[in-house]
Amino acid sequence: MAKKTSLKSKAVIVFVVTVLLILGALIASLGKLRDQVLRNEAQAVADQVVSFRSWVAGTGMVWVNKLHPDFNGYLAVKNVSETDRFYGKNPALATRELSTIANKTSTRASFTVTSDNVRQSANAPDPFEKQALKAFQANKGLKFIEQHEGESFRYARPIFIKKGCLKCHGKPEDAPAAVIEKYGNVKAFNYKVGDVRGIISVTLPTISFMEALPTLANPLSIGAIFLAFLLNYLFTTKLIINRLQKLTKDTKAIVSGQLNTPLNYTPPSDSNDEVDHTYHSVDLLKRSMLMVMKKMKRK
């Protein structure tokens, strides 16, 4: 039979396991914190897109006097004079142009608005977006989808059909002539209120663990962890192991006949310390031995 491990060795093992568990918890917390930071940033971008689309939809169209060479698409045109005209851009066009500009100038976030039933082939969803669309269609209570993809963080939020959307996405025969003229009468029609029209897809550069580490590995956190470990070590070593080792040494001395060996402890009436109680038991044993020896000498 193998020799039983010492209490000191067990304490070291428990200490090491404690350290590993704390490190594991810190790493898990770091991952959660990283995802929450990225999610909040992606949600902020999506909120801005929703607000912009709502503003455009609320006005019906955004009318511009001139077309930018890179954004020459429009849904309708109004002639103000023989030489002056305004071009109308619906929410889909305005949002696509906004995303193109934002994606070129932003140092972090990029976004697209896509669907499984797009009117522009350039807006076709990628694999992550297809997966998100299926998930939202299967569960309309789902608020968002997210995942890490290489060095990117992907986030998607559903866009639901509202009553005002039916003007351009309801029955083809009810759609404005400009919509039919530009997109035809087949794509992105026959939706109902509450249907998933598409998604807002946000992409951010992910945050590596080395980038997130300083959030937790600050002097205050490190100092608190070090202090916790020090207190753990001092408590285990000084208040338990060292006292038990001293008790073992004193007990061996008493057993070997050194009955005058002093036992220093707090009486059980004044202490709930288990080591003090053990000391008291050994002291009672020592007193019993002294009484027996006195009786033997009298005889």
Residue range 43-89, pLDDT digits in tens: 999 999 999 988 888 888 899 998 888 888 888 888 888 788 999 99
- What is the rounded average pLDDT of the residues 9-38? 82
Rounded Cα–Cα distance for residues 13 and 97 (Å): 61
What pLDDT, in 10s, does the model give residues 240-261? 888 888 888 988 888 888 888 8
Structure pTM?
0.69
